Structure 1
């Protein structure tokens, strides 16, 4: 049985915290592969301006190229309509593959707003990593509540706080500030070439 991790996100842009989370999850859970899944048309981002999907896909491709077992999928980008997690997981479910859906603490807190979460638990192992702004006690309480209500088990990864966000990177670029220490140079080259976030 192969074990694949899926990390979804806007990745606008991908940065070192994304790569650290993926690498830690791969090592901790013994995953054969991590699939980065840039959102195509996520329902929760519909009011925000998001960079063109093909550019975000290219940034992820460049950002992960030095990591063994990291791949990127354009499944959600090519899919028509809104991108729902349960549909993506259903599409990637195979007889010989155990799926691990990896997401942040903020998503655990908002999980009951997601569509068809029972199906998410049915087809994958739900993995949550810690993020700045959430105490362990708060996350533990929410984790236990969700586990009890949906009769599932959530895997919790207590990671180092790398307080890097795509939002902050975009703002720094807008202000003309340096961002070299937040993301790979190959990703920064694409941002400069496309004149993103100005």
Structure 2
């Protein structure tokens, strides 16, 4: 089975997340895409972060009825910070026959060397990097971050990067849906409209539970 992985705080999940998930699903003919909320994000401040259970519930609202999309609570059952290396190792133990495609952003690619045991990530999955429209697709290892480029070679036939472990690094052009979770939170706090950025079920969940100061006052 081919399994896509999209992780994040999902604070909150929005239409941009769903759009890039659909693109990855179609590009790689994925059997399923797992949306994995981080319980304790290692790279982001957690002040004011809604509880894991509420962020998971918003993910479930967002993807309800979408074929091949699944919410995964694996990081909610671990103690300590939610490291991607640990999650990938757990998924391999649970689904040893699966091939994994792990979506990250371009900014994450360039900071990957700062991640917890980042060198263990490459053998565990294929990396899929979302890039903005207009950003040139790298066509040589010289375009990769210095910390990782020595572990990859460029296959000019497949037009992709191959890791020494046999995994691949792909670049996926992201649909330009200019949505930011941070801006959504600010808009909610200021009672400005956000409906066009959120799945309707997520918007209703936020209002019902008064998240991000929405519906107060």
TM > 0.5 fold call: yes
Correspondences of 1:89-128 after superposition (within 5 Å): 89-93=88-92, 94-128=95-129
Gaps of 5+ in 1: none
User: How many aligned positions are there?
Assistant: 196
* 1:95 match: secondary structure: coil
Alignment CA distance shift 1:142-1:167 (3 Å): farther
Could you list the per-position Cα deviations for residues 114-166 of structure 1 after superposition, in whole angstroms to 9, with x for gaps in the alignment?
Answer: 1111211011001100148x943789754364653233241100122211011
Q: What is the alpha-carbon distance in structure 2 between the residues aligned to residue 98 and residue 164 of structure 1?
A: 30
Gaps of 5+ in 2: 153-162
In the alignment, which of 169, 184, 189 is matched to residue 154 of structure 1?
169
Indicate if the aligned counterparts of 2:195 and 2:203 stay in contact, CA closer than 8 A. Answer: yes
Alignment CA distance shift 1:137-1:36 (3 Å): closer
Q: What is the alpha-carbon distance in structure 1 between the residues aligned to residue 77 and residue 145 of structure 2?
A: 36
Matched, 1:175 2:190: yes
Could you list the per-position Cα deviations for residues 74-125 of structure 1 after superposition, in whole angstroms to 9, with x for gaps in the alignment?
Answer: 1111211111001100111133110111111111121111111121101100
Indicate if the aligned counterparts of 1:143 and 1:154 stay in contact, CA closer than 8 A. Answer: no
1:47 positional shift: 4.8
Q: Which has the larger radius of gyration?
A: 2
The equivalent of 1:42 in structure 2 is: 41
**More RCO (CA 8 Å, sep 6+):** 1
The equivalent of 2:52 in structure 1 is: 53
Could you list the per-position Cα deviations for residues 173-192 of structure 1 after superposition, in whole angstroms to 9, with x for gaps in the alignment?
Answer: 11111111001110011110
The equivalent of 1:136 in structure 2 is: 136
Query: Which TM-score applies when normalising by structure 1?
Result: 0.91
Alignment CA distance shift 1:181-1:37 (3 Å): same
Q: What is the alpha-carbon distance in structure 1 between the residues aligned to residue 135 and residue 67 of structure 2?
A: 32
Q: What is the alpha-carbon distance in structure 2 between the residues aligned to residue 136 and residue 48 of structure 1?
A: 36
The equivalent of 2:84 in structure 1 is: 85
